[in-house]
Structure 1
């Protein structure tokens, strides 16, 4: 049949209208024939609400996309062309634990960094690898586009522990950084491009271009003097020390604040937790409001309030990538892929987040040499953490999990690492069967 079959696992997510909007806007060159939205039984109510809104959106737009809702992953995956994953194992209740428990030990509690990032990876990787097994049987030629966090660690696991080679990890941070720079320079977004290199949520801008001209120094100067820095809804902007940014001579991503401003970010987290609870609790309230809107049978567009959810530019990043693969556009986009020599000091077989040329055969990493010595060690340390954490996730090995926790730079000691690990293992026991199927 003509057209594309696309499957979104985690289709009941509040983000899905972003994806649907992106597909509608690109239908003239990205002809999605079928969009299957898949979820688990616990997410059936949300899936039905999101699915009904998606159907109203395509009807309003007048595009011939058939929307299917399913709780049967195998039924949905058969003969798919593109599979996107946007899952949250344990739902927002698990995220709340990831954020709250580390704070008890004076450690950053964040969903993709530190102990929280480790545990999100431990819960998510086995589920994504099960999806990969289904894809091997039902749609072996499909592209897997993973948006589930921690995207870098998940991509690492898929590359090492599955037979799915057509896989790309995706994040909205780089596109958000480019949009932030465009606002800083007061220009249209399509005039700005950044050379990205590093890891997911640990990526640096090596150079910034405006209309093809290098402007990094001017951008860094504006960045330290601007009241509105480049950040995200879930990361407080504390500004940067001018001399530090000048010495770094790279554009940091919002998540670097956890590593370069650890004590200040911890203080902010504790204050926010006392005042409003965890970010998960804030998101729960936002989602409650969003799903009330989605329930309205008159709503047939993506509501503007979705921007508050923290996933800005998700559809743009996801749909741009799929569009460029499908149409062999050979444009440049930052994605998570196998390194293949793009960054000299990272193993070739490891996942990196780097600017790539997007072709019909997938992303081709642009060789950028090596990272500056000032940031190389931190990136390598996080890559070591991701590698060990992925191994722990697929084996259920307690000692590997402890090692991963301890080598993470946000955890101060092996003793604290063990205390946090033990408490979080017990808290997430339901979603970590591999760690509890044998006596430790």
Structure 2
């Protein structure tokens, strides 16, 4: 365990160096060198050409801001994973071409098309499992004392798979969606950011509820938040939401509808897909989905900015900024490195954290983070409404991993048909059969 001021510097690997989220992580690391000093920064990606575009701009940024940090971008796993303290994993197996399929095939059948929920999320999960497990194996081989913080989606299915396949590995599955919502909560009640909040939360990834929110003095913020969310959802507007894409505006606003189903808690935004799938489909364009928006905005903007930096030879005027994704993962590294026991969310085996839920479920609950990883906090019993939904969705996730492990068509069909988003088993089978063809290069052969 390191101590602040002892001179120890850390080596960080970003696995998925070609991700559009990588520049934000780099900037967050550079902005926090006084708290979390670096000696090495590495990128690893199997798509060297895509990664190189980010790496060239990063190299210029590092030379201007922190030339003492050793930098390497590579497609060689041994070079990447040797001598690292933390691995930040954010891979997308199949890239946006397969995300496009995940969204559009279900919509063709009148079912929600979304990258982490429903059929699309299950399809993505079966692609992600071997990719993430491969990263864990590299880390254990070349840097066995390192920690992996995994953002690779869909986190719930990945977490269930790593629980089974890598039970003793030092991988922590995390998600920034609740973090972004808590920043919005802080803004609603007039606080600086999420770090000024205390909270209780339970559920599955992209499938959870806040039962309590306080400020650091112990004042109950739930009444004020509930009143706001009942009218506006988590939408704030104005300068705060300047640049927020239309699809996210709709998602934040729709939290009001989800909240109405249980006014005793505050919902994760992704619950809209499970509670109002018909409405979501009605407002979806099956020919222009979230993947197209990402390509037109984030993807285009990030790579254009990298190209500009390389062309001009300077990153001094860059428009890259840290975001929820990057600040959360760096905060977690700092908590582990310095044993701070900061309270943050993670997706971990339940083991009693939610007392009336399967102990082997991979749940998302607050944990205290220190040098030995996360220590889950007890959230008590889930209410009947939440317990029923969690049990059903957790079964979907377990069946999906069963299907991957057993190469079972039936298990995967069961996962599709049990999912609350899918109307019946016939529709589930039709979607699955199309998904099998589309994923022939990624999924195991199902029997």
**Length-normalised TM-score, structure 1:** 0.91
Q: Distance in 1 between matches of 2:357 and 2:42?
A: 37
Is the aligned partner of 1:249 residue 2:260? Answer: no
Shift of 1:302: 8.9
1:294 and 1:123, CA in 2 relative to 1: closer, same or farther beyond 3 A? Answer: same
The unaligned stretches of length 5 or more in structure 2 are 1-6
**Alignment correspondent of 1:166:** 170
Is the aligned partner of 1:260 residue 2:260? Answer: no
1:302 and 1:385, CA in 2 relative to 1: closer, same or farther beyond 3 A? Answer: farther
2:10 to 4, 11, 15: 4
1:131 and 1:302, CA in 2 relative to 1: closer, same or farther beyond 3 A? Answer: farther
1:44 to 24, 28, 48: 48
1:133 to 121, 134, 137: 137
1:373 and 1:304, CA in 2 relative to 1: closer, same or farther beyond 3 A? Answer: farther
Give the RMSD, CA atoms, in angstroms: 2.3
1:302 and 1:354, CA in 2 relative to 1: closer, same or farther beyond 3 A? Answer: farther
- Say which SS state the counterpart of residue 214 (structure 1) adopts: coil
- Say which SS state the counterpart of residue 427 (structure 2) adopts: helix
Is the aligned partner of 1:382 residue 2:397? Answer: no
Is the aligned partner of 1:201 residue 2:206? Answer: yes
Q: Retained in 1: the 8 A contact 2:202–2:209?
A: yes
Q: Retained in 1: the 8 A contact 2:255–2:267?
A: no
Is the aligned partner of 1:32 residue 2:38? Answer: yes
Q: Report which stretch shifted further, 365-374 or 75-84.
A: 75-84
**Alignment correspondent of 1:346:** 357
Q: Distance in 2 between matches of 1:242 and 1:406?
A: 25
2:304 to 275, 279, 292: 292
Aligned ranges 1:254-333 → 2 under 5 Å:
254-270=269-285, 273-274=286-287, 277-286=288-297, 287-296=299-308, 297=310, 298=312, 299-300=314-315, 303-304=318-319, 312-333=323-344
How many residue pairs get aligned? The number is 426
Aligned ranges 1:85-100 → 2 under 5 Å:
85-100=89-104
Q: Retained in 2: the 8 A contact 1:132–1:164?
A: no
**Alignment correspondent of 1:154:** 158
Q: Distance in 2 between matches of 1:119 and 1:243?
A: 25
Q: Distance in 2 between matches of 1:65 and 1:173?
A: 30
The unaligned stretches of length 5 or more in structure 1 are none
Q: Distance in 2 between matches of 1:140 and 1:338?
A: 22
1:376 and 1:48, CA in 2 relative to 1: closer, same or farther beyond 3 A? Answer: same
Q: Distance in 2 between matches of 1:135 and 1:268?
A: 43
C-alpha offsets along residues 294-319 of structure 1, whole Å, 9 cap, x if unaligned?
A: 11224526954778xxxx41011100
1:118 and 1:139, CA in 2 relative to 1: closer, same or farther beyond 3 A? Answer: same
Q: Distance in 1 between matches of 2:109 and 2:300?
A: 31
